[in-house]
Structure 1
Amino acid sequence: MNNKELFEKSLKYVPGGVHSPVRSFKGLHTTPRFVNRGKGAFIWDEEGKDYIDFCMSFGPLIHGHQDPEIKEAIIKALDNGWTFGACEKYSLELAEYIVNKISFIEQIRFVNSGTEAVMTAIRLARGVTGRSKIIKFNGCYHGHTDSMLIKAGSGLAGEAEASSKGVTKHQAEDTLICELGDLNEVKEVFERFPTNIAAIFIEPLPANNGLLVQSQEFLQGLRDLCTKYGAMLVFDEVISGFRIGFGGMSEKTGIHPDIVTYGKIIGGGMPVGAIAGKKQVMEFLAPIGPVYQAGTLSGNPVAMAAGLVNLKKLTPEAYVKLENNTKNVVALMKDWMDKNGFEDYQTIQYGSLFYPISNHNKLTKIGDLPANMNERFKKLFEIMLNKGIYLAPNAYEVGFGSLAHDEKVQEEMKRRLWT
């Protein structure tokens, strides 16, 4: 069956034909590609067409598809069994490795996804502080847990409405919205609710609604406000953690959160999430603390084994290569866009993340994104797709470089762009 036939069949059995909305190619003039396999920097669809992949499973495949050493670790773990629901050494080894490498965390608990990690962090922050309200920022995505599916309403600090049906008014009222980069607005919210705010949640490198790089001063201001008012600072590093450096944005900025959440990057693509922090905070979690959290598949031995090999390969030299690969890819894309009707585009890069956008202004908040970006992106995406270059199928999603996007792949990309 071809991609179109598979998607039509999927629509019969699956809501919208997909198991995650961003895969649906909604608003695009083409059919979702059903991926059959991946290797290195490439994926192949069910029709046998290959693509240079810059989605990389939305980030975790830093070493590319089917890295041989990670694959070997997965196979070896499988030979011993793939789930126990019991204590095992794999998660212990991975926890020890991460804690010993990241100075500001003392304990870590593994879960199954970034969304689950954030959900746990919300409950933990409320449990530690005894407070109910949280602050999040318009344009930051923290998974699909109810408390985080909130967006700005009238634009006034602290007023919000749900972004999804099924989220109650009460939940929306406990989530206070501020604009990225506006420290005065955050101060005003703390002045209105000085003893009610449990935590500030922020992607220190917002990368789910474009790539909205924040200033050091703003992030430090959030740290200072949390300290002043006794609230917790939570860094959602599901995307940035381990990708732009082993210690993520916390390491890059030197600003240490009280709680940090990580995602699937840990497991090199296997289902993994994590929540980490100081011992005095983390020990509020059950079984020794009053904040309940559990998961039968948490610390899955196969994912843990893959994760340990994946992270051990992320040396300082690997991060230099990773950023250089991405820089070269961005340069190739910019050269082609400037000469083929996309001269209004810039490509923002931070480490191994990049974001092509039809705007030359500085972007720091969701309101900076241009109104016509969807229409412009459709054209760019479909041209790239036809050339065998696979970007994330959504105007708001970032692209991901990998260690597999080496000089040989870059030469192939250049050939495809100009053919």
Structure 2
Amino acid sequence: MTSTPLSPTPTAQSEALFARARAVTPGGVNSPVRAFRSVGGTPRFIREAHGAYLTDADGARYLDYIGSWGPMILGHDHPAVREAVAGALQGGTSFGAPSWREVELAELVTRLTGADKVRFTSSGTEATMSALRLARGFTSQHGTGRKFIVKFRGNYHGHADGLLVEAGSGLMTNAAGHLGTSAPSSAGVPEEYAALTLVCEYNDPAALDTLMELRGHEIAAVIFEPVVGNAGVLIPTPDFLAALHRVKEAGALLIADEVMTGFRLSLSGASGLLGIRPDLSCWGKIIGGGLPVGAYGGRADVMEFVSPQGPVYQAGTLSGNPLAMAAGLATLRALEADPDIYPRLESYTSRLAQGLKDAARDAGIPISVNQIGSMLTAFHQDAPHGSVGNYTQAARSDTAAFAAWFQAMLGQGIYWAPSQFESIFVSGAHTVSELDATLEAARHAYRSVSEGASS
């Protein structure tokens, strides 16, 4: 069977903007994966977004599965969020002083997640680096000198120096390392700084237990993604979750990085869904409704170490920004008011996962699909146990096949994440009509990849 020829999408305006951007911005983008380096072609410069769709500078319309990398769980330009931001805008854009919206959002976040206290920041990177500083300060209060943190290969926690070690997504090509070693994933990160970050394999409980046995007395915190999204979607096993909880026995804090998964997988996040009990959590994306935001929070005795109440300093001029707080409040309230939204997202995404498997199988293309709630990654490989469980397994994916499939999908108006090692995100604006269109495009795309491989 021959696949339907793809009509070339006009890109003249995006190409012109990309050329201008490269002259004034490194790589022409303000975040690396947007440059399409791993999939080729011209990144689309977006003009506007509504519901489940993007429109680019050339007027081409795309069905969007990125959702601004997660926060647009209600869809783009949701009326409640738009009205909330417009209302807040009438009162000013920034105060550099406390306002009532940050109190209400903090009350809502703590009620839904079970955290005792929360501190807002302007990005997820700020949240994770602040949480780790807090963990070091808290665990060393009795002079124990806990300097080290533990992270997992392929988990991405932002671009602070100490976290760019065996990180995920766009950094996955720098994948060298062993238990407890620390290889910087970026130039400019001093080896001495990276040496304070110890690395384990995700979903390897024995390795984590061994590391904590050997060095637990030196470790301030273990930070992890409850569900990984930056090495592709990786789902924790029950044994791994149990090992995570055991790190507390050594006096280390357990930090859940829910910047991506918080309020994405349930109203109580991945932690609530999976029964995880972290000492601290980090959030972002959805709690700002698409505006720049981050937060960290958790146990009261730990959070009381944050300045001005405690000795651990952290500050931010735009923290608690009224526009971001308004968007976050509107988003969380809309989620809370719709008890069926998470089951609907799960149903859509699981049907998408099965449809992708069927389409790839019919075309003779090996894929393994990891899916939980409204997050999904289709790895272009035949995983040994039917699913990909860690960074090492994810790295075996056929990135050339993915790039060809991505371009075939883009040519049919489907905007997928432009990296094999990312999650896609489904929103409440995606309906059966969008699902049918996506799977029809996927069938053509997999046939195109199959024919390309055999030619």
Structure 2 residue runs of 5 or longer lacking an equivalent are: 1-11, 141-145, 168-174, 445-455
- Quote how far apart the aligned CAs of 1:346 are: 2.7
- Quote how far apart the aligned CAs of 1:416 are: 4.8
**Contact 1:332–1:414 (8 Å) recurs in 2:** yes
Which residues of 2 match residues 299-314 of structure 1 at below 5 A?
299-314=320-335
Deviation digits for residues 382-418 of structure 1, max 9, x if unmatched?
A: 0000000000111111110110001232344355556
Q: CA RMSD in A?
A: 1.7
- Over 3 Å counting, the alpha-carbon distance change for 1:414 and 1:187 in structure 2 is closer
Q: Is it true that 1:395 corresponds to 2:420 in the alignment? A: yes
Could you tell me the TM-score, scaled by structure 1's length? 0.95
Structure 2: how far apart are the matches of 1:62 and 1:127? 35
Which residues of 2 match residues 255-274 of structure 1 at below 5 A?
255-274=276-295
Q: Is it true that 1:127 corresponds to 2:137 in the alignment? A: yes
**Contact 2:368–2:379 (8 Å) recurs in 1:** yes
- Over 3 Å counting, the alpha-carbon distance change for 1:306 and 1:160 in structure 2 is same
Partner of 1:169: 191
Deviation digits for residues 204-260 of structure 1, max 9, x if unmatched?
A: 111101111111221121112x22111100011111110000111211122210000
- Over 3 Å counting, the alpha-carbon distance change for 1:111 and 1:203 in structure 2 is same
- Quote how far apart the aligned CAs of 1:106 are: 0.6
- Quote how far apart the aligned CAs of 1:341 are: 4.7
- Over 3 Å counting, the alpha-carbon distance change for 1:28 and 1:157 in structure 2 is closer
Q: 1:360 aligns with which of 366, 374, 382?
A: 382
Structure 2: how far apart are the matches of 1:417 and 1:394? 16
Partner of 2:118: 108
- Over 3 Å counting, the alpha-carbon distance change for 1:4 and 1:159 in structure 2 is same
Partner of 2:452: none
Partner of 1:67: 78
Q: 2:251 aligns with which of 227, 230, 233?
A: 230
How many residue pairs were aligned? 416
- Over 3 Å counting, the alpha-carbon distance change for 1:203 and 1:288 in structure 2 is same
Structure 1: how far apart are the matches of 2:321 and 2:40? 39
Which residues of 2 match residues 1-400 of structure 1 at below 5 A?
2-103=13-114, 105-130=115-140, 131-151=146-166, 155-224=177-246, 226-315=247-336, 316-342=339-365, 344-361=366-383, 362-369=387-394, 371-400=396-425
Further displaced range: 45-54 or 310-319? 310-319
- Over 3 Å counting, the alpha-carbon distance change for 1:413 and 1:193 in structure 2 is closer
- Quote how far apart the aligned CAs of 1:372 are: 4.9
Deviation digits for residues 93-123 of structure 1, max 9, x if unmatched?
A: 11111112222x1101111111110010110
- Quote how far apart the aligned CAs of 1:369 are: 2.1
Amino acid at match of 2:149: I
Aligned to 2:49, what secondary structure does the other structure show? Answer: strand
**Contact 1:150–1:162 (8 Å) recurs in 2:** yes
**Contact 2:209–2:243 (8 Å) recurs in 1:** no
Amino acid at match of 2:72: L
Structure 2: how far apart are the matches of 1:382 and 1:401? 20
Amino acid at match of 1:135: V
Amino acid at match of 2:93: W
Q: Structure 1 vs Structure 2: percent identity of aligned residues?
A: 41
Deviation digits for residues 61-94 of structure 1, max 9, x if unmatched?
A: 0011100111000000001111101010000011
Structure 2: how far apart are the matches of 1:382 and 1:196? 47
Structure 1: how far apart are the matches of 2:40 and 2:179? 38
- Over 3 Å counting, the alpha-carbon distance change for 1:156 and 1:27 in structure 2 is closer
Structure 1 stretches (4+) deviating beyond 6 angstroms?
none
Aligned to 2:217, what secondary structure does the other structure show? Answer: coil
Amino acid at match of 1:2: Q
Amino acid at match of 1:120: S
Structure 1: how far apart are the matches of 2:207 and 2:394? 20
**Contact 2:15–2:42 (8 Å) recurs in 1:** yes
Structure 1: how far apart are the matches of 2:436 and 2:212? 52
Amino acid at match of 2:346: E
**Contact 2:380–2:399 (8 Å) recurs in 1:** no
Could you tell me the TM-score, scaled by structure 2's length? 0.88
